[in-house]
Amino acid sequence: MAPPLRVGLLLAAAVSVVPAAVALLVSPAARAWLRGTGSVRQTLSNASVGLVFLASQMALRGALVGVFAGAAGLVPWKLPEGPPSALLAFVLLDLVYYAQHRVEHAVPVLWAIHAVHHQSRDYNLSVSLRVGVLASLSTAVFHASLALAGVTVTQYAVVATVHAVLLFGLHARTKIAFGPGRVFNAPVFHRVHHGADRAYVDKNFGGVLLVFDRLFGTFAPYTTEPVFGVVGEECPELPLAANAAPWVALAEKVRRQPTLGGKLGALLVRPPDAAE
């Protein structure tokens, strides 16, 4: 992209975004909606964790695309270019997202990465920013599996970007749903996923689609407003402490195991009662 064009796009974005951001900040009603029922302090904590995550992305995002490109280079078959292939790649990505999400909740060493996202005691758009600093490492491994279906690097870059943008909106403070949750996900259903209540734990893993939750029996409807946070774990506010806390808790569980097999089990297998 030519420098003048790039500058023009940046200026256009600033002209569009800055007034809207100012309007939101000066509106008490808008601030309350964004903040939800929690505090400004929690929202700022989520944003600060997000800043650390974005800093890590500068180092790891290229590696994410590089891993996928390497995997795609080993697969001789490719999906043809065009909208049908892009749609198929998007659905496959959402399936991979569902599988990754379930595994991250089931495998303690991956949960130590993902738990950061669930630490917020409130539910609003700022939770979208609260992502573990190592999240891209887990994502790189799972996303590389799309290469086996013939997804090209270009197709992956496009659908992964669109998918990430759509996921950001899942943490909005709204109960609007696109139907009864049979096909499309919505903030009201993802709110269930963030609930610490027993009936809500390990439910609604889906990304843009809820089809896979329906197929694999992990869907739960929204009935009552949940309690947010992580069951039995600390929810630190400072970004470095937030990222370190799950690893400290996991290290303690590993330390308590007397045998090597027990220690490996503590890293790889969640106890049956851990979600209760």
User: How many structural domains does the chain have?
Assistant: 1
Domain presence at residue 10: no
Cβ neighbourhood burial of 210 (10 Å; 0-12, 13-18, 19+): buried
Query: What is the distance between the alpha carbons of residues 210 and 186, in angstroms, rounded to a whole number?
Result: 9
CB-based contact 130:119 (threshold 8 Å): yes
The residue type of 153 is V
**206 in any annotated domain:** yes
- The range of the structural domain enclosing residue 122 comes to 40-268
216 Cβ contact list (under 8 Å, min separation 6): 98
Inside any domain, residue 124: yes
Residue 167 included in any domain: yes
Q: How far is CA 275 from CA 60, 109, 111, 192, in A?
A: 31, 15, 12, 14
Does any domain span residue 202? yes
> What is the residue-level pLDDT of the chain in tens, covering all 276 positions?
544 444 444 444 444 445 555 555 555 555 555 555 557 889 999 999 999 999 988 878 777 788 899 999 999 999 999 999 999 999 999 999 999 999 999 999 999 999 999 999 999 999 999 999 999 989 999 999 999 999 999 999 999 999 999 999 999 988 778 777 789 999 999 999 999 999 999 999 999 999 999 999 999 999 999 999 998 888 899 999 999 999 999 999 999 999 999 999 999 998 876 654
